[in-house]
Amino acid sequence: MSKKHAMPNMYEVLRKAGFQLENQLNQSIHDHWNREEVAEAAAIFTNAHARLINKLHRYHEVLSTQLNTPTKKDVANVAKLVLQTEEKVDQLNDQMIRLTEKLEKQLPRNPRSASSFQKVHDTRAKRKEALRKLSKDLFDAGLIDRGESPVTDKVGTGHTSQVKNHRWRNEK
């Protein structure tokens, strides 16, 4: 019976010793990192690392230009252009639908016109869904930020205010 009491006591002693050792190590690490010279060295290394990363980005841009390969920024710009183009196509589709509706009101009822209207409507719905999926895929891939995406819940309404300084905006 004394063996049963001895085992839990041994585990309790081992547990307490482990907690003490953990506290001593944490305190030692904390004291080490709180020294001023360690903080200064960390700041120097952080600044050097940031400069190195910036140089790597510049070298990558130069190398990409010479090798004629797109950079992440180029791909993101193309993605934005694709999204804007889709948005413009949706705007044109909206205009076509409005014109079709006006024509249907003015012309006598023709069964073919109703089916063509439905086809235009279905095509527009598919394009909207594809645009939403493309935007989500680009965001998931890290090519665009959520705020950069011109796709909103109102796709096809011409709300592309998130993408600025685009040449299409300036051409009229």
The 10s digit of each residue's pLDDT in 103-133 is: 878 776 655 555 666 777 788 888 888 888 8
The pLDDT, as a whole number, for residue 170 is 39
Question: How many domains does the chain divide into?
Answer: 2
The 10s digit of each residue's pLDDT in 50-104 is: 999 999 989 988 888 888 888 888 889 999 999 999 999 999 999 998 988 888 7
83 with 108, same domain: the answer is: yes
The pLDDT, as a whole number, for residue 157 is 44
Residue 118 structure tokens = 């439905």
What is the chain's mean pLDDT, rounded? 77
**How many degrees, rounded to 5, is the angle at CA 162 between CA 159 and CA 165?**
105
The pLDDT, as a whole number, for residue 117 is 67
81 with 56, same domain: the answer is: no
16 with 82, same domain: the answer is: no
62 with 123, same domain: the answer is: no
Rg (CA), the chain: 32
Looking at residue 146, its amino acid is R
Per-residue pLDDT band for 45 (boundaries 50, 70, 90) equals very high
55 with 88, same domain: the answer is: no
Q: Among residues 38, 67, 96, which one ends one of the domains?
A: 67
Per-residue pLDDT band for 25 (boundaries 50, 70, 90) equals very high
Q: Is the pLDDT of residue 37 over 80?
A: yes
135 with 158, same domain: the answer is: yes
90 with 165, same domain: the answer is: yes
Eight-state DSSP code of residue 156: T
d(CA 101, CA 53): 57
Contact call for residues 104 and 113 (beta carbons, < 8 A) = yes
Where in the sequence is the domain holding 157, given as residue range(s)? 72-170
128 with 81, same domain: the answer is: yes
104 with 166, same domain: the answer is: yes
81 with 55, same domain: the answer is: no
63 with 124, same domain: the answer is: no
52 with 95, same domain: the answer is: no
